[in-house]
Amino acid sequence: MKKALIILSFLFIVLGGIFFYQKAIFFDGKLHVVFCNVGEGDGIFIRTPTAKNILIDGGPDDSILSCLSKNMPFWDRKIDIIFLSHPHADHLNGLISVLNRYQVMHYVTEKVENGTLLEKTEKQLLADKKLTANYFSKGDRIVISEKTQFKTLWPPKELTNSRLKSSKNDNLDINGFALGQLLIYKNFRVLFTSDLEIPAIDRIAEEAGRVTVLKVSHHGSRNGLDRTVLNFAMPKLAVISVGKNSYGHPTPKILGLLDQFGIKTLRTDRDGEIEIVSDGEKWGVR
Amino acid sequence: MPKLTVIIFPVILLILLSIRVFYFYQSKPVFTEGQNVNFKIILLSEPQISGRMQKFQINVSGTKIYVSVPRFPEYHYGNSLKISGVINTVTSNTSSFSKRNLILLKNIKIESNSQSVFGLAVLSSFRQNIAGFFKGTLPPVSASLLLGIVFGIKDSMPKEFMDSLRTTGVLHVIAASGMNVTLIGGFLSGFLLLFFKRQIALAMSILGIIIYAVMAGLEPSIVRAGIMGVLVFSSQILGRQNLASYSLFLTAFLMLFLSPFLIEDIGFQLSFLSTAGILYIQPILADRVGLSKFPIVGEATITTLSAQIATLPIMLLTFGTLSLWSVVVNALVLWTVPILTILGGIAALTVSFFNPLSKLLLYLSLPLLLFFEKLVTFFAAIGGMVSINSLNPFLAVGYYLLLCSIIIYLKAEKVSV
C-alpha cells in the first residue's frame, strides 16, 4: 500500500510537470499553422492566438493523429472547426479517426458528393455524433476572434448548384468544387487551395490578393499553379503537401515556376512537418 | 508405481498428439491459383489498420488467407462476414533467406452481417468502448501502447512505433500474455478474497481470466496464458499443486490437439518457449548470476535473458534478425509494465461506470507511457538490428538438445547439493 502511494504521488508530480510545460508552449498567444506530414494528401492544423483548434482536411491515413497530439496540449480534446475541402480519400480518411477521437464542434465542407463508401462512413459518423455539416461556398466567412478569420473563396454557389442539378456522379472531377480559403490574422495571410486547378485557382488568387503563405494546390500537380496565381498572390513562402506517389507530384514545372519567382518552397515529403508561427506581423518557420 | 505413470502418461499423450497432427495435415485443404472461393467467418481479431487499408486473415483449418481491403467501412472483432474472392498466391521474402508462399484474396467482396455471435458481440462492444475511450483520452502512440500492454490490442498502433518496438526487442509487451493473466488473476483473486470464500473467489477469478482472454482477442499467446492461468487456479481449488508445474505442457497439448496448425504459428512457438524459459532457466540464472541484487532492473534482466535464451533459434529462423539492445531496453522499461497494466486495467473497468476516474488513471499513466516511448524511440534510432542470414535448422535442434541437457544437469547438481 505504501509502495503504491509512493508510485502514485511520483506520477502526480511528473504529470504536473508535463502540464505546466505544455501550458507554457501551447498558450503563447500566437497563430500556429502546421502542415502535417501526412504523405500524399492534405492535413493542416491551425491553432489560433486564442487557442482554438482548426483542422483543414485529415490526410490519407491516421498520421494526422500524431500531428494533432504533437501540437495540442494532452488534455485538450476539442477541435473547434473541421474543414473538409472535398471528400477524396487523401483528404478525408484521417478525419474519420479524428471524429472518433476528438470532440468536434463544427464541421464545414462543400456540397458536391462523390458517393463512395468512404463518404457513406463519414455521413454515418456525423449522424452518430449528432454533428450537422455546414456547406460553405464563396462569400461565407467564419470570424474566430476580432483579428482572426477565415474567408471562403471557392466554390461559387452557382457552380455547385449547376453540378448538383446535372446529377452527375463522378469521383474524379470533384476537385473543382473544393473549398478554397483564406486565413487572415492581422497582416499575416495564408491561402489554402486544396486540390483546385487552373482556372479556378487563378480566380481565388485574384480574390485573395497578396498573401504571406501559399499552399500549393493539388500536391504540386501541373495544373495546380501558374504565373497568374503567383502574380496575384506574391507569396513569401510556398508549401507543398506531398508524399510518395505515382503521379510525379510535385511536378518539375511547378517547382521550376516557384524557383523562377524566387519563392522559398517547403515540402512535407522532404522537410517533414512544417510549422509556421506568426504574431500577425512577423512570422517564422519552425 | 507413481514413477511409471510419470513416464507412461506423457508418452500416451504424445502418441495421441502425433496421430492427430498427422491426420490433420493429411486432410489440409488445398487452394489453386485463380480459384473462386467464399467464406463465412467471424472475425476473431481486430483488423490491422495499415495506411489506407485494413488487413486480416482467414484461417481455413490452418491455411491462412490474407485479406486486405480499403480502410472504410470498418470491420471489427466479433463481426460475422461473408467474403468472396479469387485466390492469388505470391511469394514473399519474410527475411533474406526464408521464402514463404502467401495466399492472398483478389476481387474481394464483403457482406457484413449486422448480427454477430451474441456473447462475442457484447464483449466486442465492451472492448470497443474501452479502446475508444483510451484513444479519445491519450495521444495516439500512448493510447495504443497502453491498449497493447493491457489487452494486447494493437490494431491502431502507428507503424513506425511498432517497428521501433521490434528493433528494440520489446514487441512482446504489447502481446497480452502470461504477465497480464498473472497480474489480472492475482489482482482479482486478492480483491475477491476480501468478500468471498476462497473456493468461490478462485472460481470467479477463473471466470475473470476467461472473459479477459476472449476480450483481448483469442491470439495464441493469450489463449496459452489463459489456459495456464485457469489450470493454475483450478489446481489451487482442487488442492493439487502439481497440476501447476505441468500446466505449460498440458496447455500446449490441449491447444495443439484442438488446433494442430498452431505448431507452425510463430506466436504460439514464441509464447510456449519463452514461458518454458522463464519457468526453467530463470531460477538457474537467478541462482548463479548475481544480477538479482540490483533493484528494479535486475529481475527484468534475468527474465528477459531466460526468455531470449529459450527463443533464440526460433527468432533467428523466423525473422533472421536479432535485436542487440533487447536486454538493455527490456531491463529499463519492464518495471513500468505491471504499473501500467494495473492503472490501465482499472481505467478499463471504470470506463462504463465512472469515466472521470478512468480519465485520471489514464493521465497518471501518461508519464510512464511517455518514458517508455521516448526510450524505445531513442534506442530504435541508434539501430542495433543484426541480421543473421543462414541458420541451419539442425543447428537449432542441436541448440535445444544442448540447452535441455544443461538445464537438467544444473538442476540435478543443485538437488545433490
pLDDT digits (tens, 9 = 90+) for B324-337: 888 889 889 988 99
Residue A20 within a domain: no
pLDDT at A114: 84
Report chain A residues whose CB lies below 8 A from the CB of B69.
none
- Indicate whether A273 belongs to any domain: yes
Please report which helix (H) or strand (E) contains residue B177, including its range. Answer: none
User: B112 with B158, same domain?
Assistant: no
Confidence category of residue B97, pLDDT binned at 50, 70, 90? very low
Shared-domain flag, residues B241 and B360: yes
B7 in a structural domain = no
Q: Are residues B48 and B180 in the same domain?
A: no
Measured CA to CA, the distance from residue B176 to residue B222 in angstroms comes to 6
Residue B292 belongs to some domain of the structure: yes
Bridge partners, residue B65, by sequence: B58, B103
In a domain, A7, yes or no: no
Residues B91 and B178 both lie in one domain? no
- Could you tell me if residue A37 is inside a domain? yes
Say which of A11, A61, A75 has its CB closest to residue B52: A61
For residues B241 and B377, membership in a common domain is answered with yes
Contact list, B135 vs chain A (CB under 8 Å) = 100-101
Whether the per-residue pLDDT at B92 is higher than 80: the answer is no
pLDDT value at residue B378: 94
Q: Determine whether the interchain pair B132/A74 forms a contact, defined as Cβ–Cβ distance below 8 Å.
A: no
Q: Does B135 sit within 8 Å of A18, measured CB to CB?
A: no
**Pair (B178, B253) in one structural domain:** yes
pLDDT of residue B1: 47
Task: Tell me which of A107-116, A155-164, A170-179, B251-260 is least confident.
Answer: A170-179
Cβ distance B339 to A74 less than 8 Å, yes or no, reads: no
- Return d(Cα A90, Cα A60) in angstroms, integer: 4
pLDDT in tens, B134-178: 999 999 999 999 999 998 888 888 888 998 998 898 888 888 777
Q: Is B140 close to A66, i.e. CB distance below 8 A?
A: yes
CATH number, domain of A169, equals 3.60.15.10
DSSP code string of B260-292? GGGGG-HHHHHHHHHHHIIIIIHHHHHHHSGGG
- In which domain, by residue range, is A192 found? 28-285
Please check whether residue B137 touches A, CB under 8 A: yes
SS (H, E, C) chain A: CHHHHHHHHHHHHHHHHHHHHHHHHHCCCCEEEEECCCCCCCCEEEECCCCCEEEECCCCCCHHHHHHHHHCCCCCCEEEEEEECCCCHHHHHHHHHHHHHCEEEEEEECCCCCCCHHHHHHHHHHHHCCCCEEECCCCCEEEEECCEEEEEEECCHHHHHHHHHCCCCCCHHHHHHCCEEEEEECCEEEEECCCCCCCHHHHHHHHHCCCCEEECHHHHCCCCCCHHHHHHHCCCEEEECCCCCCCCCCCHHHHHHHHHCCCEEEEHHHHCCEEEEECCCCEEEC
User: Would B161 be classed as within a structural domain?
Assistant: yes
Kindly state the DSSP code that residue B103 receives in the 8-state scheme. E
B236, B275: one domain? yes
* Percentage of residues in chain A having pLDDT higher than 70: 98
B72 chain-A contacts, CB cut-off 8 A: 93, 96, 117-118, 121
CB contact under 8 A, A89 and B52: yes
Minimal CA separation from A12 to chain B, in Å: 6
| B50 & B155 share domain | no
Amino acid at A164: L
* Within-domain flag for B125: no
Residue A84 lies in a domain: yes
Question: Could you read off the pLDDT of A48-87 as tens digits, one per residue?
Answer: 999 999 999 999 999 999 999 999 999 999 999 999 999 9
Please indicate, yes or no, if residue A210 is contained in any of the structural domains: yes
CA distance A18 to A27: 14
Does residue B122 belong to any structural domain of this protein? no
Provide the 8-state DSSP code for B90. Answer: E
Please report the pLDDT score of residue A252 as a whole number. 95
Q: At CB < 8 Å, which residues of chain A contact B?
A: 7-8, 11-12, 14-15, 18, 39, 60-63, 65-66, 69, 74-75, 77, 89, 93, 96-97, 100-102, 117-118, 120-121
Of A83 and B99, the structure prediction assigns the larger pLDDT to A83
B214 with B109, same domain: the answer is no
Is A42 within a domain?
yes
Instruction: Summarize pLDDT for A211-246 with one digit per residue, the tens.
Output: 999 999 999 999 999 999 999 999 999 999 999 999
Is B70 part of a structural domain of the chain?
yes
CB contact under 8 A, B73 and A7: no
Q: Which of B80, B96, B116 is the last residue of a domain?
A: B116
Chain B residue numbers touching A74 (CB-CB < 8 A): 138-139, 363, 366
**Beta-carbon contacts below 8 Å between A and B:** 67
CATH number at residue B82: 2.40.50
In a domain, B153, yes or no: yes
The domain tally of chain B equals 2
Q: Does B177 fall in a domain?
A: yes
Check B364 against A100: CB less than 8 A apart: no
Helix axes B297-319, B393-416, angle to 10 degrees: 150
Tell me which of B183 and B362 has the higher pLDDT. B362
Rounded CA separation B57/A220 (Å):
38
- Highest-confidence segment of A95-99, B215-219, B284-288: A95-99
Tell me, yes or no, if B71 comes closer than 8 A to chain A by beta carbon: yes
What's the number of domains chain A is made of? 1
Whether B70 sits inside 8 A of A120 (CB atoms) is no
Judge if B260 and B368 occupy the same domain.
yes
> In terms of domains, do B96 and B49 share one?
yes
Between A42 and B299, the more confident residue is A42
Domain of B387 in residue numbering reads as 144-416
Q: What is the pLDDT of residues A258-278, one digit of tens each?
A: 999 999 999 999 999 999 999
Q: Which residue of A has its CA nearest to B139?
A: A69
Look at residue A218 and tell me if it is in a domain.
Answer: yes
Nearest to A69 among B49, B139, B368 (CB): B139
